Structure 1
Amino acid sequence: MTHNISDYVNAWFNDHRSEVIGWRRHIHRYPEISNNEVLTTSYIAGVLESYGISVHQFPQTGLMADLGPDTEAGRLAFRADIDALPLQEVTGLECTSVNAGVCHACGHDVHTTVVMGTACALADYDREHGLEFGVRFIFQPAEEVWVGGATDVIEWGALEGVNSIYAIHVEPKLRVGRIGVRAGAITSATDVVDLKITGPGGHTSRPHLTADVVYALGKVITELPGLLSRRVDPRSGTVWVVGQVNAGYAPNAMPETGALSGTMRTADIAIWRKMPELTEQTIAEILAPTGCEHELNYHRGVPPVLNDDASTALLSAAASAIDPQAVVQAPQSSGGEDFSWYLEHVPGSMARLGCWSGEGEQHDLHMGDLTVDERAIGVGVKLFGSVAQQFGEAN
């Protein structure tokens, strides 16, 4: 390539810093929950179109946009998630959410702004120098709901002609300027398990004449985690945790029904694929001596985000090219992320984007007091510019 894309994007962001930060503050101020991102979609489209970028809006909310030519190598893709959470913001920031009970407590406003900035910078580069490869920008709705909007976006053709895909996720435990990379599983699969147990019911003075639903629930709660730990590789990070239990209505009455709900998480995709059958089999064995009947509803969530080795190496090289001290090893998270669905179809990688200022409290994701250091936006835009440079050199 005649002109260095990374250098161009760096200079572009330095010239447009205030404008880009303004985009983030607008999106932060007007958050919208999953599948309702109407104004957010319109705002993103308006910004991109002001830079001469043609957009393709998805059937409901969200959009994608392409730059550069179609080539045999396929397109480089960047993905942002655009939805907010049903939480009340308590940060007290000047750009605090004006929508009661809704806020960007997972950093999607930052993700969206980073991809917007990358798109606009590359659009200017394309006009001045001409991109030699294609780039796609995906602004995905509904990441925060089961099973994630990524499946719809893929069905709508967002990955057609894509060679590889990249994303970032803010990390409030990581100092701004740091970029966490990790080959393999960086998040976990996340499924929900609902179990209903039934029996004849009866009086607590005569437990031998009936089946004890509460006792059966207790057996599942205490024995299932231990048995699963002996039936799957302990290195897989497979964890089953109960979050809800309901049974009974009186201290001296044995109920006819009881129910529990919990989550099953694992970083091993092979284990994830066999967990419904294994969970059903193990629960049936636990309950067999109790005389109770059961009904299991195993709800598939998302697979783990499995960062491709080559894509992660490119991402790491791109980050190092910006700042040799930027790259750190990202920990494997037990949280779920629907970026994983894209990686079921094309190779790619997700990085952790440090957003802690280095001073004061480290806030957590999905909390109403989450604050991010806006310098992270520039780091993200420059990272993706460097990814584009690396991709162009490799293709």
Structure 2
Amino acid sequence: MSSDTSTTSTPDAAAARTEGLAARVADLVVAHEPTARALRRDVHAHPELAHQEHRTTARIAELLADAGVAVRLLPGTGLIADIGPDGPRVGVRADIDALPVPEATGLPYASTAPGVAHACGHDVHTASVLGAGLVLADLARAGVLRHGVRLVFQPAEEVMPGGALGVIGAGVLDGVAAIYGLHCDPSLDAGTVGLKAGPITSASDHVTVRLRGTGGHTSRPHLAGDLVFALGQVVTQLPAVIARRVDPRAGVNLTWGAVHAGDVANAVPAEGYAAGTLRCMETEAWQHAGELVESVVADLVRPYSVRAEVSLVRGVPPVDNEVHSTAALDEAARALLGPDGVLPTRQSLGGEDFAWYLHHVPGAMVRLGTRTPGGTTYDLHRGDYAPDEAALAVGIGVLAVTAASERALPAGLQG
């Protein structure tokens, strides 16, 4: 197609080439979506937790090899695959691990692994990047892929501080000039995507506060050190104090997910703990929040004759979508879906280790609508999360058009 091979670099000409590319990709998506959907259902039925994704890795490698795409296995689990010419590459990333959540969808291809499910949509992410890879391989064989693309299938996104750090250390970004990804969004209808330049997710850390005392009889809490009461102060007061000690525009939020102390009604326990997640919408606040947590906990428990130990596992910074890369995604999505298919989105308090890639190269993440229009909004990390499979063709197409577009590369590397 002449629009794909022109060397004109004006904005209008580039947009016209993206339009032509989108039309070509749309036809290829129809051909490859069934393979991607079959992979999605297979992976969904056989979910694997972080760093255990051996079967998932093997299935992806098999499908890419069948399509003539060479793969390189990463240490442990995960893989990368290069498509197209040498030179600066565009990265396209998927996360392949599941969650320790029992599935409750009742789907014919529901999880066969007890207590494990793809409740965050990583099966959709994996299938979208696999499908985009098959489309891009066809474009490369046709001679219309003007730069190289690297598919990154990353393990262990669901554990802190995220598997991205390991694969970056293994060299997956060597030669990659920009990187793109997507994440399921159950608040958006299938057939649409959400975009935002700048921070789109939040920083996220795991916090555990463990209290220890002597224990004793509930009739004499003054002798035992009332550990349960002290733990109650930590649970209720720590989030409130932090909210007053940090600029509210930083969006700092501490929410507890587990609290435990004692097993009987008439004994003061000697040990108890609270565990939760600390989220920050700004990187600067995230960098200092841990020190504040330790200081406030020490002040809160001091009157109660108990000892406090704070464990903070640093997680991920915010995903900060680079402006040029976001514009590339926007142009590709509009060319494929039309202007009504691209919606503005807000920064969420969710964490995503895609953020680590953006500390090394520019890039952006798009939110993929997965709600059946007019249907139920199934939230992420719920056992009944059931994305509309119509979203899969959208994910494949948007990633493929973006990766193949000249705008996907930083401005200085565009042809």
TM-score normalised by length of structure 2: 0.88
Please, which runs of 5 or more residues in structure 2 have no aligned partner? 7-19
Amino acid at match of 1:266: C
Task: Tell me which residue corresponds to 1:386.
Answer: 401
Mapped partners of 1:227, 1:88: distance in 2: 35
Task: Tell me which residue corresponds to 1:330.
Answer: 345
1:10·1:385 contact (CA, 8 Å) conserved in 2? no
Mapped partners of 2:282, 2:114: distance in 1: 39
1:85·1:103 contact (CA, 8 Å) conserved in 2? yes
Match of 1:34 among 28, 33, 50: 50
Mapped partners of 1:298, 1:378: distance in 2: 40
State the secondary structure of the residue aligned to 2:294. Answer: helix
State the secondary structure of the residue aligned to 1:333. Answer: coil
- Mapping of 1:92-107 within 5 angstroms? 92-107=106-121
Task: Tell me which residue corresponds to 1:2.
Answer: 5
Is structure 2 residue 300 aligned with structure 1 residue 286? yes
Amino acid at match of 1:391: A
Task: Tell me which residue corresponds to 1:63.
Answer: 79
Give deviations 1:209-228, integer Å, cap 9, x for gaps. 56432332222222222221
Alpha carbons of structure 1 residues 137 and 269: separation in structure 2 relative to 1, 3 Å = same
Task: Tell me which residue corresponds to 1:306.
Answer: 320
Mapped partners of 2:409, 2:291: distance in 1: 44
2:33·2:131 contact (CA, 8 Å) conserved in 1? no
TM-score normalised by length of structure 1: 0.92
Q: Which moved more, 1:22-31 or 1:322-331?
A: 22-31
Task: Tell me which residue corresponds to 1:231.
Answer: 245
Give deviations 1:277-307, integer Å, cap 9, x for gaps. 1111122222333343222111212222222
Alpha carbons of structure 1 residues 284 and 103: separation in structure 2 relative to 1, 3 Å = closer
**Sequence identity percentage:** 46
State the secondary structure of the residue aligned to 2:172. Answer: coil
Task: Tell me which residue corresponds to 1:367.
Answer: 382
Question: Residue 200 of structure 1: CA displacement?
Answer: 4.2
Question: Residue 69 of structure 1: CA displacement?
Answer: 2.8
- Mapping of 1:83-162 within 5 angstroms? 83-162=97-176
Q: Which moved more, 1:190-199 or 1:270-279?
A: 190-199
Task: Tell me which residue corresponds to 1:348.
Answer: 363
Alpha carbons of structure 1 residues 87 and 251: separation in structure 2 relative to 1, 3 Å = closer
Mapped partners of 1:55, 1:66: distance in 2: 7
Task: Tell me which residue corresponds to 1:265.
Answer: 279
1:81·1:141 contact (CA, 8 Å) conserved in 2? yes
Task: Tell me which residue corresponds to 1:178.
Answer: 192
Is structure 2 residue 68 aligned with structure 1 residue 52? yes
Please, which runs of 5 or more residues in structure 1 have no aligned partner? none
2:239·2:253 contact (CA, 8 Å) conserved in 1? yes
What is the number of equivalent residue pairs in this alignment?
393
Amino acid at match of 1:127: R
- Mapping of 1:157-236 within 5 angstroms? 157-208=171-222, 211-236=225-250
Alpha carbons of structure 1 residues 90 and 217: separation in structure 2 relative to 1, 3 Å = closer
Q: CA RMSD in A?
A: 2.2
